[in-house]
């Protein structure tokens, strides 16, 4: 019992990035434990997925041919059955939206300690997980008691595994008749189309909760007019109904890769950063010198946007 | 019918703060109702307001006496009454983990027998993001996580929800009741507590319980996770920070924008 089991994730025919990152995370932990890395892929075109996941880090891939798309009851039942069969020390699952929808149930059913949203892991006689608190303002280490545990891992924190491996690929059957049917997926819908595609913009001026009031958005619109920038925002602005959903940058909004991303009054929460860290140049204006956005910024002004933005508009008028 | 909403008073850290061992000194913390729970309360109250039948909305929290101030916000916004669980054994935990939380809420659910449980997707402070789904599993309810749209009328046997996946894709799912739904921000527009609501909230009950009231002992909340270090994340940034007044810094920033060639002439 020194093995690691990681469950990959896919959606609408594509494996998601976290599937390859989880392989790296799993390999690291398996090496520390002196065990093997098992990867499971559940539902959809499992054979094709297995081929793609067959990277040098993986020892065994388990395909579970059941249904097309993610269904939390199937995932939970299949993962629990795999766990019973393999008895791994660590079960790793993505801390994605679908991870949030089944990992807690699996950990609870297995009666195992559960550490969520890991950004790092270390093993030395016991598992230590690094995670963040208070909107990424502090980092913590957490010791996990017990011989077995479940950890959900944050996307984007481990390198993606690639290259061709020679893992054993084996199909895993479990009793599908045991799967609950109390939550039934009816379909998917793309949201957030509309007037502009912020993912096409070269220069994004993005505003966050620091703007305080809807009326104050005019100031940012003036800046966009003066500079020719496209306006985008963090989630709270969209939640408040101040801007349409197609302007939201982040995990549940749009992924953008502009030449310049100017983040104004945005703290830099992980779900926001997920959408904009690929920008060529990141600039932040924020009153809080400890705001996590400064960790990824290339240029910054620690200051009040209500002073800096008018001065910036002046520069271009 | 009855709707249980789990709510939490969370701490936000001020701009400047110091870490003292395994916690942030009280001086640097500001307490408020967890953002995600605010939306969950609103969702519950809207179901109650639009119902043809009697709907009771009960807020449940795990928190010290101080948190009653925050929980009253949920009552002022329309919850009918609240249950607050606290105990020395809970106070002693360095990190109150998901399993421990769920052990407590499991008993609250057993007492209250709600038809629907609404939770926030995550708490802004410890950010586990797991309580709702783990609770559903424990009590044998159906569930859905990260719900940003809810189509449900009191008395219905199923709810139709949208789950907000990454990248602007939503999943539409039908969930049988009883169920636990974890609520995402933006699902509605949380109301401000009216003065009348705030006054009325003073009369509403916040029933305190300790573990023994719930038939639990200290071992039930002895979590498997132990906080061992807390520190400010090492910044990997080599950001150039412009110093000075607004004009000065704006001028330097303008130069960067010109240099990058993104500002039209
Ligand atoms: C499942 C899930 C998905 C999510 N998806 C997304 C997503 O796609 N996109 C997204 O953005 N968020 C998303 N979030 C929410 C995310 O966790 C944060 O809550 C959000 O990004 C915070 O937005 P913000 O930075 O604008 O606000 P805050 O975190 O409140 O930050 C406001 C900032 O403004 C600064 N400020 C205040 N006043 C001023 C001033 N006068 N001048 C300058 N600075 C000032 C403050 O110092 C602070 O840093 C998601 C959350 C979850 C759980």
Residue A97 Cα distances to A100, A286, A310, B53, B132, angstroms: 5, 29, 39, 34, 13
From residue B112, how far is each of A256, B24, B59, B60, B109 by CA, in Å? 46, 35, 11, 10, 5
* Residues contacting B46, CB < 8 A, separation 6+: B188
Put simply, whether B229 touches A (Cβ < 8 Å) is yes
**Residue numbers in B near A109 (CB within 8 A):** 137
B170 with A188: Cβ contact below 8 A: yes
Look at A138 and B224 and tell me if their CB atoms are within 8 Å.
no
Which of B127, B132, B223 faces A117 most closely, judged by CB atoms?
B127
Per-residue pLDDT tens listing for chain A (317 residues): 799 999 999 999 999 999 999 999 999 999 999 999 999 999 999 999 999 999 999 999 999 999 999 999 999 999 999 999 999 999 999 999 999 999 999 999 999 999 999 999 999 999 999 999 999 999 999 999 999 999 999 999 999 999 999 999 999 999 998 898 999 999 999 987 777 899 999 999 999 999 999 999 999 999 999 999 999 999 999 999 999 999 999 999 999 999 999 999 999 999 999 999 999 999 999 999 999 999 999 999 999 999 999 999 999 98
Distance CA A257, CA A278 (A): 5
The answer to whether the pTM exceeds 0.90 is yes
Helix segments in chain B, DSSP class H? 35-49, 68-76, 88-91, 98-112, 131-139, 195-203, 246-259
- How far from the centroid of its chain's Cα atoms is residue A275's Cα? 10
Are A149 and B224 an interchain contact pair (Cβ–Cβ within 8 Å)?
yes
Put residue B167 in one of left, alpha, beta given phi > 0 → left and psi -120 to 50 → alpha. left
Do the Cβ atoms of A88 and A3 come closer than 8 Å? yes
Q: What is the ipTM of this complex?
A: 0.96
Nearest CA to ligand 1 atom 41: A304
Q: Encoding tokens for residue A226?
A: 């003066």
Q: Say how many CB pairs under 8 Å bridge A and B.
A: 288
**Which residues on chain B are in Cβ contact (under 8 Å) with A227?**
257, 262-264
Strand partners, A150: A91, A114
Say if CB A107 and CB B135 are below 8 A apart.
no
Residue of B nearest to A270 (CA): B127
Return the beta strands (E) in chain A as ranges: 4-7, 10-11, 14-15, 37-42, 60-64, 90-94, 114-118, 120-123, 127-133, 138-144, 149-153, 168-171, 183-190, 203-207, 230-233, 260-264, 281-286, 299-302
Q: Which of A109, A140, A149 sits opposite B227 (nearest CB)?
A: A140
How far apart are the C-alpha atoms of B192 and B204, rounded to whole Å?
18
DSSP 8-state class, residue A277: T
Q: Which two tokens stand for residue A38?
A: 């098992």
**Ligand 1 site residues, Cβ closer than 6 angstroms:** A 97, 135, 208-210, 234-236, 248-253, 265-267, 269, 271-272, 275, 285-288, 291, 304-306; B 121-122, 146
- Spatial distance between the Cα atoms of A258 and A282, rounded to a whole number of angstroms: 9
Could you tell me whether strands A10-11 and A14-15 are parallel, antiparallel, or unpaired per DSSP bridges? antiparallel
Nearest to A253 among B12, B168, B174 (CB): B168
Task: Render pLDDT for B129-149 as a digit per residue (tens, 0 to 9).
Answer: 999 999 999 999 999 999 999
């Amino acid at each position: 019992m020194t093995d690691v089991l990681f469950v990959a994730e896919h959606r609408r025919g594509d494996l998601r990035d976290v599937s390859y990152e989880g392989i790296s995370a799993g390999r690291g932990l398996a090496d520390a434990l002196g065990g093997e890395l098992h990867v499971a892929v559940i539902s959809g075109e499992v054979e094709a997925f297995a081929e793609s996941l067959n990277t040098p880090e993986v020892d065994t891939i388990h395909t579970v041919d059941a249904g097309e798309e993610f269904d939390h009851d199937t995932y939970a039942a299949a993962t629990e059955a795999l766990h019973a069969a393999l008895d791994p020390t660590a079960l790793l699952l993505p801390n994605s939206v679908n991870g949030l929808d089944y990992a807690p149930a699996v950990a609870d059913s297995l009666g195992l300690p559960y550490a969520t949203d890991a950004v790092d892991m270390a093993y030395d006689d016991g598992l230590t997980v690094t995670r963040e608190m208070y909107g990424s303002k502090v980092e913590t280490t957490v010791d996990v008691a017990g011989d077995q545990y479940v950890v959900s891992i944050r996307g984007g924190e481990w390198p993606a595994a690639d290259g061709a491996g020679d893992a054993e690929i084996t199909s895993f059957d479990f009793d599908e008749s045991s799967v609950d049917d109390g939550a039934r997926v009816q379909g998917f819908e793309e949201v957030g189309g509309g007037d502009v595609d912020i993912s096409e913009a070269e220069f994004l001026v993005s505003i966050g909760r620091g703007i305080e009031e809807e009326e104050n958005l005019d100031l940012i619109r003036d800046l966009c007019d003066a500079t020719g920038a496209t306006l985008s925002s963090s989630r709270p602005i969209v939640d408040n109904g101040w801007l349409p959903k197609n302007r939201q940058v982040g995990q549940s909004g749009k992924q953008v890769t502009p030449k310049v991303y100017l983040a104004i009054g945005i703290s830099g929460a992980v779900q926001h950063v997920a959408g904009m860290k690929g920008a060529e140049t990141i600039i932040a204006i924020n009153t809080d010198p400890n705001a996590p956005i400064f960790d990824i910024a290339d240029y910054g002004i620690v200051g009040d946007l209500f002073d800096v933005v008018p001065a910036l508009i002046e520069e271009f008028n | 019918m009855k709707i249980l909403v789990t709510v939490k008073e969370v701490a936000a850290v001020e701009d400047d703060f110091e870490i003292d061992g395994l916690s942030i000194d009280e001086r640097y913390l500001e307490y408020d109702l967890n953002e995600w729970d605010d939306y969950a309360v609103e969702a519950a109250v809207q179901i109650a307001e639009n119902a043809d039948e009697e709907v009771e909305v009960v807020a449940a929290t795990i928190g010290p006496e101080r948190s009653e101030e925050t929980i009253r916000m949920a009552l002022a916004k329309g919850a009918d009454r609240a249950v607050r669980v606290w105990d020395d054994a809970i106070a002693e935990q360095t990190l109150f983990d998901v399993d421990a939380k769920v052990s407590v809420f499991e008993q609250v659910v057993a007492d209250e027998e709600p038809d629907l449980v609404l939770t926030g997707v995550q708490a802004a402070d410890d950010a586990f993001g797991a309580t709702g789904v783990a609770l559903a599993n424990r009590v044998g309810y159906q569930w859905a996580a990260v719900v940003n749209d809810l189509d449900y009328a009191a008395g219905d046997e199923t709810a139709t929800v949208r789950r907000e996946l990454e990248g602007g894709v939503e999943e539409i799912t039908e969930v049988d009741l009883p169920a636990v739904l974890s609520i995402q921000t933006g699902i509605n527009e949380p109301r401000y507590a009216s003065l009348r609501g705030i006054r009325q909230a003073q009369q509403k009950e916040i029933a305190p319980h300790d573990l023994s009231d719930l038939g639990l002992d200290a071992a039930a909340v002895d979590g498997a996770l132990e906080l061992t270090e807390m520190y400010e994340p090492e910044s990997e940034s080599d950001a150039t920070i412009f110093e000075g007044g607004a004009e000065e810094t704006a001028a330097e920033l303008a130069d960067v924008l010109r240099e990058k060639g993104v500002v039209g002439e």
